[in-house]
Amino acid sequence: MPVVNTGRTRLVMLAGLVCAISAGVVGIAAWRMTHRHVPAPLGLVPCKVSIDDPASGVAAVRLDLDEGALRYRDRLILIFADVQGSDRMVRSFDAQVDGKPVVPVAREMDAGAGAGPGGVSHSRVLVYGVPIPPRARSLTVAYTIDPTFFPPGTDRGDPADARSRLAADLGVVRSTSLLPRIDTPTGEAAFGVEFQLPRGWVAVTPWRSEDGRVVAPAGAGAPVEYLALGPFETRTLAIGSTSVQIATPALVAVGDFPVESIITREMELLAAPFKRPGPFLATVVPASFMHGGAAGDHSIVQSPAPVVLAHEVFHWWNDATLTAPDAGWFREGLTEYYGIRVARETGSWTTDQETACFADLDAEARRLEAAGPRSLREASLDTTATRLVYAKGALFWMLVDRRLRESGHYLEDAVRRVVTSPRTGLTTAELRTLFSSVYAGAVDEEFDRYVTGANRLPDLSLPPASGRSGCSRN
């Protein structure tokens, strides 16, 4: 995992993009059908990311393709997957072939169900088509971009709710908010990235390096990763065969992080290493920079709270590709529950802190259902109900865990079967069937009442909420 040391043509929106693209909603699949490519080797595309003034929140990116990469190509298709993350994502976009300007064609498109990279479902993406004339020897694409990304249901007025952004003192950037995806016949492509950053800044990524450049996957299906940009210090932990690099801002107190004990405990619970080979990157930032955290295939970023770290690490098993959109109660609710439990089981939290956290989540869930109860499946499909999925979802799993223990069973028996499975897109119905099979129907009632049924959770014998645990949102 490398640490890299560092020393407007306007958007053209054409209604008649290409005659084969009809009016109305046009999807990526339709684009591919009407823009057939002749396979050609692409090679490692040189890419330079420059951040001169991080306080501006904008990065400049340049791509250079040589004659070999252009051979047999009549256009280069670049897909910006996080266009909905920021209202002003791509600020400028210019392209030159052999030093002469060419006019790119750009359009916002329907990505299609499940089309988002890394299992993240984006309903709209921004696609650029750069024409390449015959016998072209070089192509340069240069753009400026605001990599700010707010997940659905978050407050865009609070910068710390963003999961990707540049600030004056440091930045955390989603790969899909900074770099485009290249649409190729094989689905494979890669950038060789060189970072040009302010003095004292470094780039910490979960990717390997080659000839002094970071090799970033750039194919249409490349996963989301989180990159640390700024005055970061790093250390590496070896846990069994797993390597995890920890990045923390230099000279900023973020507390001691029990990374090793949290990872070890979760591996014990699931009786398995991470579902993908390493290395991995965990970035810790001040609470003022980010609320909560986020996870990629090989990277996580979070505020300095052990419970958040435990939550995000658990996503290296319970990731976005594992479940269908209607199973957010499993993806996030279960992960929230284990984050809280593991924080206590590793000694990072006391039992009183764990109880206070659940009490605050209980108060939040009941407040969110004041107008009427909702099923966890329904809430999972509603981007405005994200907090209910977390709060009620975690409490649902606490209830299920209690009921199983009363009957001599353990929640991990079924959980490990799911999160270590190679399957993807598991639906609520499929998960209910699996849990019913493992526990001979012991928790069918709970699934039917709260996951598929719209009912409030029963009294969980929790103390009054304090509102000070940091687990809930006011």
Q: Please determine, for residue 21, whether its predicted confidence score (pLDDT) is greater than 70.
A: no
Q: What is the pLDDT of residue 71?
A: 86
Report the CATH number at residue 97. 2.60.40
On whether both 9 and 151 belong to a single domain, the answer is yes
On whether both 219 and 360 belong to a single domain, the answer is no
Please, which pLDDT band fits residue 112 given cuts at 50, 70 and 90?
A: low
Q: What is the pLDDT averaged over residues 30-49?
A: 71
Bridge partner list, 204: 3, 228
On whether both 218 and 342 belong to a single domain, the answer is no
Query: Does residue 383 form part of some domain?
Result: yes
Query: Does residue 272 form part of some domain?
Result: no
Q: Please determine, for residue 40, whether its predicted confidence score (pLDDT) is greater than 70.
A: no
Bridge partner list, 90: 145
Q: What is the pLDDT of residue 121?
A: 45
Strand, helix or coil for residue 403: helix
- 66-75, 116-125, 283-292, 345-354 — which is least confidently predicted? 116-125
On whether both 332 and 212 belong to a single domain, the answer is no
On whether both 77 and 206 belong to a single domain, the answer is yes
Is the entire prediction scored with pTM above 0.85?
Answer: yes
pLDDT digits (tens, 9 = 90+) for 432-468: 999 999 999 999 999 999 999 999 999 999 999 999 9
Residue that finishes a domain, picked among 191, 208, 223: 223
pLDDT digits (tens, 9 = 90+) for 153-182: 788 999 999 999 999 999 999 999 999 999
Please, which pLDDT band fits residue 45 given cuts at 50, 70 and 90?
A: very high
Residues ≥6 apart with Cβ < 8 Å to 472: 360, 361, 363, 364, 391, 465
Query: Does residue 231 form part of some domain?
Result: no
- The proportion of the chain whose per-residue pLDDT surpasses 90, expressed as a percent, equals 75
Please, which pLDDT band fits residue 30 given cuts at 50, 70 and 90?
A: low
- The proportion of the chain whose per-residue pLDDT surpasses 70, expressed as a percent, equals 87
Q: What is the pLDDT of residue 31?
A: 56
Helices (H), 346-423: 351-368, 376-380, 386-406, 412-419
Q: What is the pLDDT of residue 117?
A: 34
Query: Does residue 146 form part of some domain?
Result: yes
Higher pLDDT, 255 or 261: 261
Query: Does residue 135 form part of some domain?
Result: yes
Q: Please determine, for residue 329, whether its predicted confidence score (pLDDT) is greater than 70.
A: yes
On whether both 180 and 53 belong to a single domain, the answer is yes
Q: Please determine, for residue 303, whether its predicted confidence score (pLDDT) is greater than 80.
A: yes
| Amino acid letter for position 133 | P
**Overall domain count for the chain:** 2
On whether both 193 and 68 belong to a single domain, the answer is yes
Q: What is the pLDDT of residue 84?
A: 75
Higher pLDDT, 23 or 4: 4
On whether both 201 and 341 belong to a single domain, the answer is no
On whether both 70 and 209 belong to a single domain, the answer is yes
Query: Does residue 381 form part of some domain?
Result: yes
| Amino acid letter for position 364 | E
Query: Does residue 84 form part of some domain?
Result: yes
Contact at 8 Å (CB) between 4 and 214? yes
Q: What is the pLDDT of residue 116?
A: 37
Strand, helix or coil for residue 270: helix
Q: What is the pLDDT averaged over residues 324-347?
A: 97
Q: What is the pLDDT averaged over residues 207-214?
A: 92
Instruction: Quickly list DSSP for 120-185.
Output: ---SEEEEEEEE--TT--EEEEEEEE---B--TTS-TT-GGG-SBEE-SS-EEEEHHHHSPEE--T
Q: Please determine, for residue 85, whether its predicted confidence score (pLDDT) is greater than 80.
A: no
pLDDT digits (tens, 9 = 90+) for 200-210: 999 999 999 98
Backbone angles phi and psi of 306, in degrees to 5: -55, -35
Contact at 8 Å (CB) between 259 and 282? yes
Query: Does residue 279 form part of some domain?
Result: no
Q: What is the pLDDT averaged over residues 363-376?
A: 98
Residue that finishes a domain, picked among 223, 245, 263: 223
Higher pLDDT, 12 or 396: 396
Site of tokens 């309903």: 123
Q: How far out from the chain centre does Cα 243 lie?
A: 20
Range of the domain at 411: 325-451
Instruction: Quickly list DSSP for 60-104.
Output: EEEEEEEHHHHTT-SEEEEEETTGGG-TT-EEEEEEEETTEEE--
On whether both 340 and 217 belong to a single domain, the answer is no
Q: What is the pLDDT averaged over residues 256-268?
A: 88
- Supply the mean pLDDT for the chain: 88
